[in-house]
Structure 1
Amino acid sequence: MDSNRILRDVGATVAATAASAGASWAAYNYLNGQAAEARTVIPHRTDDAPNGDGIYWPDGTGPHRYTRDAAVDLFLAVFGDSTAAGLGADIADETPGVQVARRVAAETGKTVRYANKAIVGATSKGLAAQIDAMFITGERPDLAVILVGANDVTARNGIRTSARRLGEAVALLVAQEAEVVVGTCPDLGVITAIPQPLRTVLRRWGLSLAAAQRGAVRAAGGRAVPMADLLASEFLAKPEHLFSPDQYHPSAAGYALAADILLPEVLAAIDEWGPTPLPQPPEVSEAVEQRRIITRVRHLLGRTHDRVTAGE
């Protein structure tokens, strides 16, 4: 995710959403004011994520420098946005891609080459270019992990168009015999630096995109991991621990949690998970759902009704 993009584009996102919902001009101005407030809270990031490219051995060492004649068992490439790159981590070992690479090496006993091609600020539109840039060099990954979606929401990219572009990127990799695991759009509702009700507007858009991404990824032959559904409760419970100081990107602990979520599908993709069935994720992000204003009102009305009924 790119905090600069969300703060630059969020006003236009709100305008489009408010207009489509028939919201009043006063409501639009209120949400736009919240966007301006958020700009003062979330800093503009111009730095790059730490680079952890190289070879990781089963004994836990690495990264070792990769050369064309190096013997490796598995080539893992990561594509996507700033979350895929690991922005918010202080060192390369804290980024999600490196954490996945190390764990795959440890779990399988394989020597893993890791390369991160993700670009800070990228949307689904940029995935094909990231992949093509690798293909031009003659390299083909055995396994690819993609994390993307938040910038599509804040850039107001269409849900169907964004999902289609992601599906096309997955198809490019599958056509070259790569196994592909995609972490779908995260839940923007966990970013408390974005005030309500603006946060809910962005959250609903993101969850709709995640659902569309899941279908597109599966249709293209990839594996989809619902990051919003699996991570929201943890980030809501421990925001000071799981967010980096910018209050927007994950911290080292947040990325470790993301790697935990991705690892089962990654291992299953390369036939290393074993006979135990993969864990089944929930269909909705219940923790964030409970924090929606309308949900809290419904619960309040329900409790009031129960008390009235009990007194009759």
Structure 2
Amino acid sequence: MKRYSAQIALIVALAVSLGISLVSNSIDAYYLDIALTVGINIILAVSLNLVNGHTGQFSLGHAAFMAVGAYGASIFTLEASSKVIPMLGGPGAFATGIAFLIALIIGGICAAICGWLVGMPSLRLKGDYLAIVTLGFNEIVRVILQNTKGDGMFGGPLGLKGIPPHTTFFWTFALATICIYVVGSMVNSTYGRGFLAVRDDEVAAGSMGINTVRYKVTAFVTGSFFAGLAGGLYAHLKTTISPEGFNFMKSFDIVVIVILGGMGSTAGVVLAAILLTVLNEFLRDFEEYRMIVFSLLLIVMMIVRPQGLLPSLPFLNRKKKSA
């Protein structure tokens, strides 16, 4: 039974997400928006935790992959979904859902390709150098999007508007559940032990014959793919996106969630994503002080509890003593 516990939990979580989605019309729009934002932040945090926490790298450009996914999914929805929906039987919940799923997958694939292009050369670097490269990539994506023509495909500085609000409770938390399941399965598998080996001691892992670059690129591409999915969900939730919404501060917010939750702890980053998203909503009327509060919170956590809210603890393998 333990062997299939993760699969059972996945199915139960998907069923619960579908059930809540069916009655989501009775939920206040304000609280539903917060809940959907929580789900999107969970995907972003868990995917970044695969790179920063489980593999021991330090990426500061996660918002760039979110932006690629958001724009890729939105362009498909605005330009191509009108041609795809009639092929699926015309307007309807099924056809619209399939078209939205295709848009999300396209956004995720675009983000994964960018992750591979950035990861192949940059992940041979370590520590601060990798952080600088990913930060630079974040700014490159933002500047490119911001300097496109306003009447072009990307909308220029004003971004894209009129994106259909397809993001629902089911799509958000179903993908969040799948993200948690995939990351957990990768890390806890025999193959996934390589991620932990690279994190603990990259030199020792390389001397044991582990292809450290391949593991780092795999984690980077996987994290980028889920960041792209989160970007697609975000775009179809807010219905309007602009380059400034994916700047360095967005990447910083995701990094803060991972650090506060506990590097390498999936449960910790999920809890931190919930708490910080709700806290951010409380601070909406004090936007100019938001970063001060977050910075102070980060300092206090590093002093009081540097391992995070829920640190990742190894299982204790106890052997029975012989009589």
| TM-score computed with the length of structure 2 as normaliser | 0.28
| TM-score computed with the length of structure 1 as normaliser | 0.29
Judging by fraction of residues, say which structure has more strand: 1
Judging by fraction of residues, say which structure has more helix: 2
